[in-house]
């Protein structure tokens, strides 16, 4: 059992004192909050003070300045902070002054959640504040918050320890003012995307997370077991094949914000659980999808920043459409000097050797090309760039290029050196798709644990006929990193995956 600190012991003693005084430190009754700190700070004036005579707020005590028979405290609610003026004789109008002298001054702590009823006013120093008529303890905090020092409008000792921030996000949200804004913007990004596709008439749907076959991408899955059916099941690595089944079923366009899971490494741009928005539109191709994606991301940037120019570190990334387009082979030739067009596996291995890229013996052509591009090319594309026309070996679910032998109609959107989106003209030839799946099985037999399984039910669906379709997956976590100028995926996830805590 974790040993309690001195402060934690003292707070538990205060809890017992509150009980002895007949004060419930965790009352169940509704508290009638009717305003917010931000609304009062932004809208209160001496001219309209009549509107702010019956204010009721609730939040955490963040600091107290004791002046004997009166005190100033800072109250933080869900949107901001405001100063509270508490006068002993007003909250204790009778002879019994224990609510102020004992409860407020001795038994309440920073981090405690209280309710305050009173009226707004402006102090002699010009600070909009709340004059308390009544205070109520709503929740006693038994663990002290880390102390964050701040001047007016400036935090200068913000808690930045990643171990604390990511493991105790609940406390991080309380004490670090800018953290909540990142997640509010994340929601705004998703809402902008949702509104965009809804306006096109497309339907938001849900598909299974537990799947009998981990299809729709090349990745190592998480495996679990269903006891009642006595079968293995997989957490989905993608929702692509289920969404395309819905296109077969007659929907013109569908999209889903999906939680996907891949049993792979963790770094600043990868978390084993992540969010992808996938969308599929009938009677469209990858050319249409590029134009649509440009328009969408331009709208997202403007919705968050009021401009297409977004600061990312020391760079400024411009999401103004149109985006640059570069073929996969041209990108590799430009940044390595090698033209890999038509190369077989042995030749690609020799290229990797000359470039100093270590590759596993089990890798086929697709993985070798992917390694070359990832190691030598990807980082060069800072401004939004569509990398288009991939080799067929890299894209088992993609339609063959209509005019370029050996290629497929696929693009990846690279921004700030990282993939943000992946899209195809979808393969709808069931016989071709079966052959592609069979090629993946051969890779699996060679030891590639990221190769695709054969999804026979999906093949059956294609045999009923799927119209020409284009699909895209957009990484919501990476897009949020860009749009909120965050260096790590952990900074845009409320609760990123971490090693178990040592207790």
User: What pLDDT score does 395 carry?
Assistant: 84
Please check whether residue 271 is in contact with residue 496, taking contact to mean a CB–CB distance below 8 angstroms: yes
Q: Fold identical between 6-145 and 180-323+383-492? A: no
Beta bridge partners of 474: 277, 421
Between CA 142 and CA 109 the distance in angstroms is 9
User: What pLDDT score does 142 carry?
Assistant: 97
User: What pLDDT score does 156 carry?
Assistant: 46
User: What pLDDT score does 1 carry?
Assistant: 56
277, 245, 282, 284: which is closest to 260 by C-alpha? 277
Please check whether residue 223 is in contact with residue 198, taking contact to mean a CB–CB distance below 8 angstroms: no
Distance of CA 40 to the CA centre of its chain: 31
CATH of 6-145, one of 3.40.50.360, 3.70.10.10, 2.40.50.140, 3.40.1390.20: 2.40.50.140
Residue 157's φ and ψ, nearest 5 degrees, are -140, 50
The Cα angle at residue 224 between residues 218 and 225, in degrees rounded to 5: 135
105, 295, 338, 102: which is closest to 200 by C-alpha? 295
Tokens of 4: 């309690």
The stretches of 231-364 forming alpha helices (DSSP H) are: 240-248, 286-305, 328-336, 345-355
The answer to whether the annotation marks 273 as part of a ligand binding site is: no
Please check whether residue 279 is in contact with residue 471, taking contact to mean a CB–CB distance below 8 angstroms: yes
CATH superfamily of 180-323+383-492: Bira Bifunctional Protein; Domain 2 (3.30.930.10)
Tokens of 188: 């705004």
Report pTM.
0.90
Residue 117's φ and ψ, nearest 5 degrees, are -115, 135
User: What pLDDT score does 154 carry?
Assistant: 57
The answer to whether the annotation marks 419 as part of a ligand binding site is: yes
User: What pLDDT score does 161 carry?
Assistant: 82
**Domain residue ranges of the chain, discontinuous segments joined by +:** 6-145, 180-323+383-492
User: What pLDDT score does 2 carry?
Assistant: 73
Between CA 105 and CA 247 the distance in angstroms is 65
User: What pLDDT score does 148 carry?
Assistant: 66
User: What pLDDT score does 419 carry?
Assistant: 95
In which residue ranges of the chain is pLDDT below 70?
1, 148-159, 503
User: What pLDDT score does 23 carry?
Assistant: 97
| Collapsed DSSP state (helix, strand, coil) of residue 84 | strand
Please check whether residue 283 is in contact with residue 201, taking contact to mean a CB–CB distance below 8 angstroms: no
User: What pLDDT score does 439 carry?
Assistant: 86
């Amino acid at each position: 059992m974790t040993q309690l600190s001195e402060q934690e012991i003292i707070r538990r003693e205060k809890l017992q004192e509150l009980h002895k005084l007949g004060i419930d430190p965790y009352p169940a009754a509704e508290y009638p909050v009717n305003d917010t700190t931000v609304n009062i700070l932004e809208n209160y004036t001496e001219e309209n003070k009549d509107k702010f005579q019956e204010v009721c707020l609730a939040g955490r005590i963040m600091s107290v300045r004791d002046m004997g028979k009166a005190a100033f405290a800072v109250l933080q609610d869900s949107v901001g902070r405001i100063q509270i003026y508490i006068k002993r004789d007003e909250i204790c109008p009778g002879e019994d002054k224990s609510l102020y002298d004992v409860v407020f001054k001795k038994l309440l702590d920073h981090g405690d959640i209280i309710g305050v009823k009173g009226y707004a006013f402006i102090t002699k120093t010009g600070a909009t504040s709340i004059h308390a008529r009544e205070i109520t303890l709503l929740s006693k905090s038994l663990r002290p918050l880390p102390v964050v020092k701040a001047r007016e409008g400036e935090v200068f000792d913000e808690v930045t320890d990643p171990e604390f921030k990511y493991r105790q996000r609940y406390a991080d949200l309380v004490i670090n003012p800018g953290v909540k804004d990142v997640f509010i913007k994340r929601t705004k990004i998703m809402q902008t995307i949702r509104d965009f596709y809804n306006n096109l008439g497309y339907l938001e749907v849900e598909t299974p997370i537990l799947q009998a076959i981990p299809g729709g991408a090349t990745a190592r899955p998480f495996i679990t077991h269903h006891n009642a059916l006595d079968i293995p099941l997989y957490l989905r690595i993608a929702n692509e094949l289920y969404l395309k089944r819905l296109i077969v079923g007659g929907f013109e366009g569908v999209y889903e914000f999906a939680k996907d899971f891949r049993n792979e490494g963790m770094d600043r741009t990868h978390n084993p659980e992540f969010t992808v928005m996938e969308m599929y539109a009938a009677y469209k191709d990858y050319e249409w999808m590029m134009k649509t994606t440009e328009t969408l991301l331009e709208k997202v940037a403007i919705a968050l920043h009021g401009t297409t120019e977004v600061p990312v570190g020391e760079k400024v990334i411009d999401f103004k459409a149109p985006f640059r387009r570069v073929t996969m082979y041209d990108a590799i030739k430009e940044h390595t000097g090698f033209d890999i067009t038509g190369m077989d596996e042995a030749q690609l291995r020799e290229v990797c050797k000359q470039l100093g890229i270590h590759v596993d013996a089990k890798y086929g052509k697709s993985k070798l090309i992917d390694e070359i591009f990832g190691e030598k090319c990807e980082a060069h594309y800072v401004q939004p760039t569509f990398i288009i026309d991939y080799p067929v070996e890299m894209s088992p679910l993609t339609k063959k290029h209509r005019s370029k032998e050996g290629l497929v109609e696929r693009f990846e959107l690279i921004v700030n050196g990282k993939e943000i989106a992946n899209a195809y003209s979808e393969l709808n030839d069931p016989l071709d798709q079966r052959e592609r799946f069979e090629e993946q099985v051969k890779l699996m037999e060679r030891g590639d644990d990221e190769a695709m399984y054969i999804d026979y039910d999906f093949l059956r669906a294609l045999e009923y006929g799927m119209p020409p379709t284009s699909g895209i997956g957009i990484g919501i976590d990476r897009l949020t990193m860009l749009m909120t100028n965050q260096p790590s995926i952990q900074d845009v996830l409320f609760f990123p995956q971490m090693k178990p805590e040592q207790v």
